[in-house]
Structure 1
Amino acid sequence: MDQASDKLINDGHRVGDFVDDTSANRKPTNVVALQEEINHQTSQKDRRDNHFPPERSESRESGITRRSSIMKDNRPRNRVKKTVSFTSMPSEKKITSVADCLAFMTRGTKLIKVRSNSRQYWRTFTLDTDRSAIRWTPTSKKPDLAKVSIASMKEILIGKRTEVFRNRDAADCAGECAFSVVYGDDYESLDLLASSPDEANIWVTGLMALMVSLNGSSVHNLNSNHLGYDERDAWLSECFQSVADVFDTDKTLSEDQVAALIADLCPTLPLSKIKQRIKEFQSTKVDEGLTSIDMNAFIEIYKELATRPEIYHLLIRYANKEYMTVDDLTTFLESEQGITNASREYAVDVIERFEPSAASRSNSHLHIEGLTRFLLSDECDIFDPVHRVVCQDMTQPLPHYFIASSHNT
């Protein structure tokens, strides 16, 4: 053993700095190997003290990269694209009218076509651009046969109400996603399953509106966002104009003014959500140089925020138009709300108390705002108002109540 090596081994302080306990306790039978280990660890410590990057390790060569080396590695990588999701982006317009439903149907939807022989097929269903028929692809039939015209439709059934659905296992499909189109002189049924209740509601609402329009009812002008003379738009225009008159603006309002107006008309909406939607809407108008909001933009923003699709679909389902009459509301109260012997007088009272538009109240019409306010009121609360006060017998001894109670109470 040479003098330098002997000094390295016998100098306890120096060896202890760079050699772990197992190395220090080993017999110095291989002095060369021990000195190489000391030199390697000394080199690593010097690099750390001088902030040098660590040497490339074998794990790096095997494809496992250190955290600090990710940005330094210029090799191409398959990175997952990160996206940010908002509650309502401008490109994801919510269904707020029959026109929105028809546009959705025209773009096409994948639905399951259910057959009586227990077979089912995914098919793409679309509404013709002239809105005269719905058709599906792919099909083994001729294109002219793989369709059902709107004129031949007799009824739209919601849920699993046909023989085809009743013969299937109840667990096969959710009733909220099922609907059937009854058509033809033989009353055949086209039984369909949507991927979600929302898609089923859109198709049911759109088909009902088309059938009513074809039969010459008051539902018309389906190309616009309203059906005929729209009392709802007239009411919103009056609300906007009244605020514009107060601030003496030139038919426009600022973002804060519009947010305050919408919050006043729809108190259940969080102000933060209203402001976020306004900013998203304004971001799409940057190229046009718009900094304020006009009446049409206000109506569009308000409808997207305040219209609840599930309530709107109920409205169309029972009224086949943009508002409920007294008879429509009476039917809704009996069928949907379970109010037995609902009278016309009660329906008129509901309209008078919950419909915000004076013009609609004078015509005994209940629009989506009035219906939403009614359904969210204490009058429709699932909680029994009788139980707001003590209504049980409280004269018994205390142990009686403990005995009669379950762990859930």
Structure 2
Amino acid sequence: MAGARPGVHALQLEPPTVVETLRRGSKFIKWDEEASSRNLVTLRVDSNGFFLYWTGPNMEVDTLDISSIRDTRTGRYARLPKDPKIREVLGFGGPDARLEEKLMTVVAGPDPVNTTFLNFMAVQDDTAKVWTEELFKLAMNILAQNASRNTFLRKAYTKLKLQVNQDGRIPVKNILKMFSADKKRVETALESCGLNFNRSESIRPDEFSLEIFERFLNKLCLRPDIDKILLEIGAKGKPYLTLEQLMDFINQKQRDPRLNEVLYPPLRPSQARLLIEKYEPNQQFLERDQMSMEGFSRYLGGEENGILPLEALDLSADMTQPLSAYFINSSH
């Protein structure tokens, strides 16, 4: 909740960062014992750390949501191939005694019970160790696990941009598959944005920018709830909020009145102006200290309005202290 941050706390958590090795990509042999298959692939991670992706033998881009990764293993903890043919192809039984250090197993699934195992073998030495450590860091990042609505929308956009066809274009069928609840509405929204909407067609990546994707979502998913909020705070008939109206909404509607005003001070005009600068896409509204409906929608989906406040994510109990410290700190 915006404006409800204590002045005594500084966030210690760091957002996920993707190292150059993962962005650039590394060569691996992807093997599957059940299908008795092995393919040379180039593993990469997008710059936001959303997806692990590679091009399969059918020339289609396969993606794995990094947030679904439960564990990454290498060395003796990775899965070893049991099929004699795969072992022979991968070089097991040969003079190289360090083959285990080239193995990498990615355990992924919607929960810790229902998991699948993706098996890889690095072409170069020490590559598997770097990838195992960095992928696990990205998957376990607390800020990434508690991302905002805007981040998840950017994640959906990133997936569409990654899964291009052989011509480097975005298939319309991928967009229809992502929003499969009402394909007719999806086609209408694409058409209203001037994009191809035929299932068999594709879209050039430069025609499908993040701004176009947001406009497409606004056409697809109407927000009558935002209209209701604007009506309640006195912006009826106006396509924008003034600086004072935004402050009143945050301080009167969003802020918990039980909070201490010293530790959790109400939002000030300078802070509200920073929010407008952060979320308002229209320069004319920005110059007049106003926030449009689009900017207000972005603000509601931002990190300031997450389910959990960011400063609460790095709080943990220090179990190394004596029992008396617990009683002292809890006696309030």
TM > 0.5 between the two? no
* Larger proportion of helix: 1
* Larger proportion of strand: 2
**Please, what TM-score do these two structures have when normalized by structure 2?**
0.32
Q: Which protein, 1 or 2, shows the higher relative CO under an 8 Å CA cutoff with sep ≥ 6?
A: 2
**Please, what TM-score do these two structures have when normalized by structure 1?**
0.26
